[in-house]
Amino acid sequence: MSTEETLLNIDFDKPSLTAARVDDGVVSLSSSAEEICLVPDVGFEGTVDSPGVNRESQPLLGGRGDFEVSFNHFPDDPQFSELVWQAEVAIENGIFPERIYQGSSGSYFVKNPGGKIIGVFKPKDEEPYGRLNPKWTKWMHKLCCPCCFGRSCLIPNQGYLSEAGASLVDSKLGLRIVPKTRRRRKAWAVWATAHGLLVQEPRALIAKSNLYGKSIELYVSLETTQVDSFIHLRLVVKLVSETFNYLRIDRERSRLKRAITEQFPNLRFNRMGLPPKVGSFQLFVEGYKDADYWLRRFEQDPPPEPVMRKFQLEFERLVVLDYMIRNTDRGNDNWLIKYESPPNARRAGDGEMADASEWENAEVRIAAIDNGLAFPFKHPDSWRAYPYHWAWLPQAKQPFSAQTKELVLPLLSDMNFVQELCDELHILFKQDKGFDKRLFEKQMSVMRGQVLNLTQALKDNKSPVQLVQMPAVIVERSKNGSTSSRFFDSFQQRFQHKSPFFSWW
């Protein structure tokens, strides 16, 4: 499928904006949604009337003024923008996200105005080891066993980046098992960041404009791609809801602002209501059930051979994804299976199929969710090994199929492709305020080692269980190697010999 990619080429540094004048009034723009201020900044404002502003681009988050710029607009993906906009409309009308009580982090089912679940939002500060995680199990873990709290191989509070990174890897390899995941920051900053990666692609100038007195050039990429989503500009979603877990001071500050506004209608704050939360937004998939459910059903009542062949192919794609990103949290309760038998398929009374050809039309799909504990900067070497639980399934004992090899082996064997993937992950991860380039290089060293093992396993006709038994490899950038990242001799590999205390847990 051919998709268009857009890029804004901005030839000035990030401006530091504190206020923007609209007509006769002043609108204060907060520079940080998470800024804590005990004495709120206020400004007096006249009537704001901007007929040129598209109403659909206005944020409809609870308690926020019409003057605040929307952070959840995706010009490269209008369908996704529409879904997020529906979520904002629902929240504005009192249909709040519903907390998911399973799992170890604060995650929420997001609904549209009709009350239908359309996505899963995972705030950054409510991740398993985040400061506002509402789940008491992690609180007890931290209180009773602080020495084992957290995962020493992972960078804390980057689960939302890991979710989006897994979606990016899935798109690049064409696996199509990760529901589309987005993250969001200010759009013009993302465009400027992405310029270094996309500038070498064939593109055409389609428009010119200016912003705050600076020229902007709008380009459209002429390159075509076969992936479903726009992979170069993975963005962050920001949402506000009373059902999210906030500090008490944030809720009290929100009540105080509302009370002041009721008494002084002409008084305007930078932000009304609760502060927006940054996190990943993953589309909700329908018709799927926990893998445990269908695995038990398949064991008790094995489906026909055509169904199992399709399931094996989907399973192998899950293995490729998890192994590449070194997912440390893949149990049978956090990946999903969708199985629909063909409507015309029948079984005879003795259990034999009446028409075997009908089963070729059966639908078997796997959805890899909960990818927030991946991309470690080292292989597990402390208490736990964090094994892949799918390695104990019978499907893991079968060698990788020819279809899987044809899909991923040509890509993974190309060092330029691997480096391009690392470049795109760099653009994604560097948007976090706590980004550390040194740790990111270690993350990519682990991923390169995983790619090396996976490539060798595919060439040697190994099975997934044999793959996970291969020694842990780290492929680091050589300090004395070539300055170009496109040459293989600029990297060196080494093996990790230290093993975790519990090899099975």
3-state secondary structure 230-283: CCCCCCCEEECCCCCCCCHHHHHHHHHHHHHHHHCCCEEECCCCCCCEEEEEEE
pLDDT per residue over 191-219, tens digit each? Answer: 333 434 333 333 333 333 333 333 333 33
Per-residue pLDDT of the chain (505 residues), as tens digits, is 444 444 434 343 444 433 334 444 333 333 343 433 333 443 333 333 333 334 333 333 444 433 333 567 666 677 788 888 899 899 999 999 999 988 778 889 999 999 999 988 989 888 877 788 887 776 666 666 655 556 788 998 888 899 889 999 999 999 999 987 665 433 323 333 343 433 333 333 333 333 333 333 333 333 323 333 322 233 468 888 999 999 999 999 989 988 998 888 888 887 778 888 888 888 888 889 999 999 999 999 888 888 999 999 999 999 999 999 999 989 888 899 999 887 665 454 444 444 556 666 788 999 998 898 999 999 987 778 788 999 999 999 999 999 999 999 999 999 999 999 999 999 989 988 889 999 999 999 999 999 999 999 999 999 999 999 999 999 998 765 444 444 444 788 888 777 766 766 5
Q: Residue 176: in which H helix or E strand, if any?
A: none
Which residue shows structure tokens 């008490």? 248
- Is residue 227 within 8 Å of 171, Cβ to Cβ? yes
Rounded to the nearest 10°, the torsion over CA 420, 421, 422, 423 is: 50
Q: State the DSSP code for 322.
A: H
Q: Which residues contact 292 (CB under 8 A, 6 or more apart)?
A: 332, 333
pLDDT per residue over 26-67, tens digit each? Answer: 333 333 434 333 334 433 333 333 333 343 333 334 444 333
Longest dimension (CA), the chain: 82
Strands (DSSP E) along 124-212, which ranges? Answer: 181-182, 203-211
**Bridge partner list, 120:** 109, 282
The full set of domain ranges for the chain reads 289-343+356-495
Q: Which of 376, 284, 377, 379 lies closest to 338, judged by CA?
A: 284
Q: Which of 491, 410, 468, 420 lies closest to 200, judged by CA?
A: 420
DSSP H stretches of helix in 241-392:
248-263, 291-300, 305-325
From residue 65, give the alpha-carbon distance in Å to each of 1, 4, 255, 484.
40, 33, 15, 49
Quote the Cα angle for 401-403-406, to 5°: 115
Q: Which residues contact 318 (CB under 8 A, 6 or more apart)?
A: 177, 335, 366, 368, 390
Which residue shows structure tokens 């519990």? 502
**Bridge partner list, 122:** 280
Amino acid at 278: V
Q: How many whole angstroms separate alpha carbon 322 and alpha carbon 283? A: 19
Within a 10 A sphere around the Cβ of 396, how many other Cβ atoms?
A: 19
pLDDT per residue over 313-331, tens digit each? Answer: 999 999 999 999 999 989 8
